[in-house]
Amino acid sequence: MSERPLCSRCVLPHCPPEISLDAEGVCSLCREHERRPAAAQAPLLESDFTRIIAQHRGKHEFDCLVMCSGGKDSTAALYYAKRRYHLNVLAFTFDHGFETEDAMANVRRAVEKLDVPFLSYRSTFMNEMFARIIKTDSAAVICHVSAIWYMDMTFRMAERFDVPIIIAGWTKGQMTDQPVMTKCACNVSAPEYARMGRATKEFLSGLKGDPKYGDFPESIEAVVARAQKRHKCLVLSPHWFLPYTPEEYVAVIQKEVGWQAPRLSYPAKTTNCYLNFISVHQALKRYGYTHYHVEMSKLIREGLMTRAEALEQLRADFSAELLNRAAEPLGCRFGVEI
């Protein structure tokens, strides 16, 4: 893959027209951040979070549904929900068939240690769609399509068990401008996601009439709109409200629930599925960056991560062998060049 020049402040590359570098090597998004008033968004406080959950506590069989991937962020969110806020928790894990053994082991240890009810949903429903993205060399982002699927499933579980709050492990780098999210994952209207969002939506629009995927939502916004008509619930993350760094809460969950860092992951120090390697490979080839670059760039601008730390975590040093191992269930194969 050809290297594109990176912003000297964050980790986004020169990708006009959405992202461009000026004469000083600073990207347009960092310049926009400079111009934004410092008090444009008041910091979220833990009291905001506790006030919201107090409005719903004890009014349903479960106070919240916690999305559990086995990663450090979602495991900490589960831990906080149970031990810090003493919520009546229902844990939920979704597996499209590509979750790692390490991630699933983390989930099992956490729910056993915390003694919380646990739902595990596994399905290969998405395999044909993933294969179609790869075989047609679509610009759609596999991770975004996966996010649409798992958020739709999560909302359906919240509806089924009449849960008023969904707890996610999203960090400050992953949140949108809304203090309390009514939509989830990537803000497709933001410049850095514009091409990715359009390509993914166009791919999903092309599935209309498909007997298997014809009713699949075209975006997270569509997922939320459908869900809110069926069952209204909030989506929150304690990480938006708490001041703890990943290093601090990783130490806690390692001690309290036996969390272990995965042996294989991208970015480094995260927990993602095997399919994520393919999604990252395709996004780097097509766009020159991934949604992880966007999230870490936000953290850099907010002073929550250094550029050097982000660059180290974002090194794509996985092999074609790993890509092919992930792609084998889909009937796909990659060449040796990655």
Give the mean model confidence (pLDDT) for residues 212-231.
Answer: 92
Give the mean model confidence (pLDDT) for residues 206-227.
Answer: 93
Q: What is the pLDDT of residue 189?
A: 67
When the pLDDT of each residue in the chain is averaged and rounded to a whole number, the result is 90
Give residue-wise pLDDT tens across range 28-71.
999 999 998 765 556 788 999 999 999 999 999 999 999 999 99
Give residue-wise pLDDT tens across range 179-213.
344 334 456 668 888 899 899 999 999 999 999 99
φ/ψ bin of 162: left (φ > 0), alpha (ψ from -120 to 50), beta (otherwise): left
Q: What is the pLDDT of residue 175?
A: 52
Buried b / exposed e over 237-248, threshold 16 CB at 10 Å, is bbbbbbeeebee
Strands (E), the chain: 64-67, 89-95, 118-122, 165-167, 234-236
What distance in Å separates the CA atoms of residue 124 and residue 31, rounded to the nearest whole number?
Answer: 43
Q: What is the pLDDT of residue 40?
A: 52
Give the mean model confidence (pLDDT) for residues 233-250.
Answer: 93
Give residue-wise pLDDT tens across range 276-304.
999 999 999 999 999 999 989 998 998 98
**Domains contained in the chain, CATH given:** 1-338 (3.40.50.620)
Q: Which amino acid is at 61?
A: E
Q: What is the pLDDT of residue 317?
A: 80
Quick check: 3 pLDDT over 50? Answer: yes
Give the mean model confidence (pLDDT) for residues 105-112.
Answer: 98
Residue percentage of the chain with pLDDT more than 70: 92
> Which run of H or of E encompasses 293?
helix 291-301
Residue 31: CB atoms within 10 Å = 16
Give the mean model confidence (pLDDT) for residues 224-239.
Answer: 92
Residue in the block written with tokens 């095997």:
274
Helix, strand or coil, per DSSP, at residue 318? coil
Give the residue with greater pLDDT, 51 vs 336. Answer: 51
Quick check: 101 pLDDT over 60? Answer: yes
Give residue-wise pLDDT tens across range 117-140.
999 999 999 999 999 999 999 999
